[in-house]
Amino acid sequence: MKNELDIFSNSTAILLLVVMFILLIVIGLLGNVLYGLAQVKYRREKKENDANKAGLLGIVLLLAAGTLNAQDAAAPAASTGIAGMSYTTFFFMLFVLTLELIIVLAMLLQIRLMLRVEKAADAPDVVPVKKESAIRQWWSKANAFKPVEKEADIMLDHNYDGIRELDNRLPPWWLYGFYATIIFSVIYLWRAEVTHAAPNGVEEYQASVEKAKKEVAAYLAAKGESVDENTVEMLADAADLAAGKANFVTSCAACHLATGAGSVGPNLTDEYWLHGGDIKSVFKTIRYGINAMPAWQNTYSNKQIAQLASYVETLKGTNPPNAKAPEGQLYKPAEQTEKPAEQAEK
């Protein structure tokens, strides 16, 4: 009976065996590299009294498994089925090749990992820096200064009583803000002083003052406070005169009596006045006070003082009983002084 298990007469089987043998050589070389790296790691860990010695036993087992599998690959199969080989032989050899490739890849990854570990071990000790958030990184850049350990690089040859001078740059946020002010000043000068497309500082101030005056006048007008000693006029409305009379009885009757005949204060019903008898003079006297007379501007509003002055004007010529003797100078309204002159001309 012909020996169907002789795989050495099959070209496909020989090719697979050659590939398996090459992979075994690669595995052996990689194992040697891993063994050397493991020895270096072992010596380093032994020197540093580190108890972690894992990895060496696994590498040896992987090499042994690859060698055993490679030896088993030469075992003959019971029957032929693919490329002159039995199904069992072909798939077994294919499994061994796949296993060898996986071992090669695993060993390469292990070598890469161990090289990285050795590189990190040879590097100087560096404290790991925690990754900062984007906002924190932006804030650090905006306030960038030379760290304390690098101040020697920017130290100047100036020393004032032990105080060292550093040539440290201003933080970026300050520089950028300064550059922004320069750009703004150029634009402002061009618009305000060259083209006059916008008001300058003086014009803005004047405009704000005028605006404030208008706002104050409007506010006072809404409250009825726009009247003063220069603009006051005689009020003839009954409600205004009644309000003036009520305030006169409350605040003025003690000195001038309720009828205006005068007591401590002068007589308000005759034609003689100490400080002027026209509506403007009476308003001014009531508002600011004079001599022993108090200033009523802190008690009454300008409108109330106008009502009070108008009521005082209505007391002229009422001739109450027991009136006080006249005081001051004779006051004649302008209408009365102009009429005799007109009659003389006629």
Interatomic CA distance for residues 223 and 303, integer angstroms: 9
pLDDT for the residue 223: 64
pLDDT for the residue 217: 78
- Total Cβ atoms within 10 A of residue 236: 9
pLDDT for the residue 84: 67
Partners of 164 in the beta sheet?
A: 159
Interatomic CA distance for residues 98 and 3, integer angstroms: 28
CB distance 100 to 23 below 8 Å = yes
Among 24, 17, 19, 1, residue whose Cα is nearest residue 85: 17
Interatomic CA distance for residues 71 and 34, integer angstroms: 23
Interatomic CA distance for residues 306 and 326, integer angstroms: 24
Domains of the chain in sequence order: 7-122 (no CATH), 134-166 (no CATH), 238-335 (1.10.760.10)
Name all contacts of 35-39 with Cβ < 8 Å and 24+ positions apart: 35/59, 37/111, 37/114, 37/115, 37/118, 38/114
Each of the 346 residues of the chain gets a pLDDT tens digit; together they read 344 445 666 777 777 777 878 878 878 777 777 777 777 666 666 665 444 444 444 444 445 444 444 444 444 434 446 766 777 777 787 788 888 888 888 888 877 777 777 776 666 655 556 666 777 777 777 777 666 667 677 777 777 777 877 777 777 888 889 999 999 999 999 988 888 888 988 999 999 999 999 998 787 777 666 788 888 889 889 999 999 999 999 999 889 998 888 888 898 988 889 888 899 999 999 999 888 888 998 899 888 999 999 999 998 888 888 888 888 888 877 654 444 444 444 3
Burial 158-182 (b: 16+ CB within 10 A, else e): eeeeeeeeeeeeeeeeeeeeeeeee
Which tokens in the block code for residue 308? Answer: 């009070």
| pTM for this entry | 0.38
Residues 28, 30, 35, CA angle at the centre, nearest 5°? 90
pLDDT for the residue 261: 87
Interatomic CA distance for residues 267 and 328, integer angstroms: 10
Interatomic CA distance for residues 67 and 90, integer angstroms: 18
Which tokens in the block code for residue 309? Answer: 């002055």
pLDDT for the residue 148: 65
- DSSP conformational letter for 316: T
* Amino acid letter for position 336: Q
CB distance 291 to 344 below 8 Å = no
Interatomic CA distance for residues 95 and 270, integer angstroms: 138
* Amino acid letter for position 113: L
Among 190, 21, 31, 12, residue whose Cα is nearest residue 86: 12
